[in-house]
């Protein structure tokens, strides 16, 4: 029990971005390789959302939750949905008062039960209604399963993207050099043929000026709502000048156009826009 509590405390600190780099990398590696640990992380994540909605977080925890956990549209949408469900359930409980014995009284319940008996005895109504209800439940469960699988895939991609970009730049990876749109003077995207297999692509975002200690990239496929943010990036010297290396797993590069927005992190952690890049992936 003590070990379980310690692990839960560790995972809450991870989700609130309160761990050091070494502990954070350890959690992310276990998340990718240990299925049971991954389920525990997602469970603690759900508990953290519930605590936020219930106002049970401390001021420091709430500030960390808003700054880190609500930093993406996907997470903000998830919290909004959870809040709506919580609000609905809170309103629904009073709407269904209980009997003295604890049983739930259905809306419109009449103590003289015989007055409602004909409806329940009418098979022509009960059978179709039951089938419709079962179909609705099956479709709802199927939709939830698909959404949960997508959520986990996105979480896996996010963690893998962060892990890849904590590693030093490598000469052994495929290179793609990108110039900012304001330098190219057009909107035509660089073209990249999707690599075969499970590989990593190293994108080099060329800089006009290297004026910041670190940089942040928001990575998004055109037309998708999902965004991936990678921070803590530093400029490196290449044969063409100073550039920001960004490593991306090939499985994320489905055919289409990708947009990358580069920002510099100035003193006081202020985010300042640097430039926009794009490239198009073909089959």
Q: Say how far apart CA 173 and CA 202 lie, in whole Å.
A: 6
Average pLDDT along the chain: 76
Question: Going by DSSP bridges, is the β-strand pair 200-206/174-178 parallel, antiparallel, or unpaired?
Answer: parallel
Question: Going by DSSP bridges, is the β-strand pair 200-206/228-233 parallel, antiparallel, or unpaired?
Answer: unpaired
**Least confident among 97-111, 164-178, 201-215, 227-241:** 97-111
Q: Say how far apart CA 120 and CA 203 lie, in whole Å.
A: 66
Strand order, beta sheet including 174-178: 174-178, 200-206, 241-249, 236-238
Is 57's pLDDT higher than 90?
no
Please report the domains of the chain, with CATH numbers, ordered by start residue: 1-99 (no CATH), 174-282 (2.60.40.10)
265: buried, middle or exposed (CB in 10 Å: 19+, 13-18, 0-12)?
A: middle
Q: Which two tokens stand for residue 237?
A: 């010297």
pLDDT confidence of 110, banded at 50, 70, 90?
Answer: very low
Is 262's pLDDT higher than 80?
yes
Structure confidence by residue, pLDDT tens digits, 210-261 = 999 899 999 999 888 888 999 889 999 988 899 999 988 888 888 899 999 9
Higher local confidence (pLDDT), 268 or 186: 268
Structure confidence by residue, pLDDT tens digits, 191-215 = 888 777 778 888 899 998 999 989 9
3-state secondary structure the chain: CHHHHHHHHHHHHHHCCCCCHHHHHHHHHHHHHCHHHHHHHHHHHHHHHHHHHCCCCCHHHHHHHHHHHCCCHHHHHHHHHHHHHHHHHHHHHHHCCECCCCCECCCCCCCCHHHHHHHHHCHHHHHHHHHHHHHHHHHHHHHHHHHHHHHHHHHHHHHHHHHHCCCCCCCCCEEEEECCHHHHCCCCCEEEECCCCCCEEEEEEECCCCCCCEEEEEEEECCCCCCEEEEEECCEEECCEEEEEEEEEHHHCCCEEEEEEEEEECCCCCEEEEEEEEEEEEC
Whole-model pTM: value is 0.47
Q: What is the structure's pLDDT at 186? A: 52
pLDDT confidence of 183, banded at 50, 70, 90?
Answer: low
Q: Are 65 and 16 in contact (CB under 8 A)?
A: yes
Q: Say how far apart CA 161 and CA 28 lie, in whole Å.
A: 11
Q: Are 243 and 207 in contact (CB under 8 A)?
A: yes
């Amino acid at each position: 029990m003590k070990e379980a509590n310690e692990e839960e405390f560790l995972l809450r600190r991870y989700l609130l971005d309160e761990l050091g780099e070494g502990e954070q990398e350890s959690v992310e590696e276990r998340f990718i390789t240990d299925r049971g640990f991954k389920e525990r992380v997602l469970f603690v994540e759900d508990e953290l959302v519930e605590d936020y909605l219930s106002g049970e977080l401390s001021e420091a925890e709430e500030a960390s939750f808003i700054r880190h956990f609500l930093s993406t549209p996907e997470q903000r949408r998830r919290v909004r949905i959870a809040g709506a469900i919580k609000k609905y359930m809170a309103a629904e409980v009073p709407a269904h008062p209980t009997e003295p014995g604890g049983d739930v009284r259905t809306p419109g319940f009449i103590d003289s039960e015989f007055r409602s008996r004909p409806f329940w005895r009418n098979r022509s109504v009960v059978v179709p209604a039951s089938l419709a209800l079962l179909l609705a439940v099956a479709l709802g469960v199927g939709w939830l399963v698909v959404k949960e699988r997508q959520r986990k895939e996105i979480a896996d991609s996010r963690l893998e993207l962060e892990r890849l970009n904590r590693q030093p730049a490598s000469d052994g990876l495929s290179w793609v050099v990108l110039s900012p749109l304001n330098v190219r003077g057009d909107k035509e995207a660089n073209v990249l043929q999707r690599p075969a297999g499970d590989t990593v692509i190293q994108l080099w975002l060329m800089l006009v000026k290297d004026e910041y200690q670190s940089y942040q990239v928001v990575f998004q496929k055109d037309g998708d709502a999902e965004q991936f943010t990678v921070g803590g990036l530093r400029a490196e010297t290449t044969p063409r000048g100073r550039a920001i290396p960004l490593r991306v797993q090939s499985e994320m590069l489905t055919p289409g156009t990708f947009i990358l927005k580069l920002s510099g992190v100035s003193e006081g952690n202020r985010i300042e826009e640097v430039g926009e890049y794009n490239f198009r992936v073909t089959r």
